[in-house]
């Protein structure tokens, strides 16, 4: 449970980072004469806030929902953009890092590997057809608990 608290703290710090960047953007624009180009510094800050921080915040919130075993359609009812392959892998990375003691991962399954987490996240997003082949091949080893639970699909046909 402590891991979910760490993820909440991460979400709050990302929100605060976005607010701080927004204030700095406002300060930057106040120092620019009207009608003049704000310059690289302003757009660098803006892009960091609107692209990087926003993307990381979404991935963190989705990882929290995934670890709490909440359905995706409850978390993102009206998402305008489907998550990209890289975003799904980022959600899996965050979920893997903070997996211990969460409702999704029972204490006996704390030895879950990163490939198994990536598979579970792609399944949660209902996007198994986009799951990387190397991940699926890695799941076919005899020590994979997903294989023993017969949860792995076979896409070779």
Number of Cβ within 10 Å of residue 102's Cβ equals 21
Question: What are the tens digits of pLDDT across the range 139-151?
Answer: 655 555 454 444 4
Positive or negative, the CA dihedral 40, 45, 51, 56 is positive
Question: What are the tens digits of pLDDT across the range 103-129?
Answer: 555 444 555 666 777 777 877 777 766
Question: What are the tens digits of pLDDT across the range 16-70?
Answer: 999 999 999 999 998 888 888 888 889 999 999 999 999 999 999 999 888 888 8
Contacts of 59 (CB under 8 A, 6+ apart): 87, 90, 91, 94
Residue 140: per-residue pLDDT:
59
What residue segments make up the domains of the chain, in order of their start?
Answer: 2-148
User: Could you tell me which residue, 28 or 102, shows the higher pLDDT?
Assistant: 28
Query: 3-state DSSP call for residue 66?
Result: helix
């Amino acid at each position: 449970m402590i891991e979910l608290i760490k993820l909440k703290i991460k979400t709050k710090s990302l929100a605060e980072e976005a607010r701080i960047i927004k204030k700095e953007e406002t300060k930057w624009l106040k120092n620019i004469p009207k009608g003049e180009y704000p310059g690289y510094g302003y757009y660098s800050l803006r892009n960091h806030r609107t692209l990087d921080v926003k993307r990381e915040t979404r991935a963190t919130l989705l990882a929290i929902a995934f670890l709490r075993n909440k359905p995706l359609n409850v978390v993102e009812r009206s998402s305008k953009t489907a998550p990209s392959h890289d975003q799904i892998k980022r959600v899996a990375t965050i979920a893997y890092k903070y997996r211990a003691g969460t409702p999704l991962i029972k204490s006996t399954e704390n030895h879950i590997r990163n490939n198994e987490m990536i598979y579970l996240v792609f399944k949660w997003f209902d996007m198994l057809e986009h799951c990387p082949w190397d991940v699926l091949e890695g799941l076919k080893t005899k020590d994979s608990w997903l294989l023993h639970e017969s949860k792995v699909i076979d896409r070779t046909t």
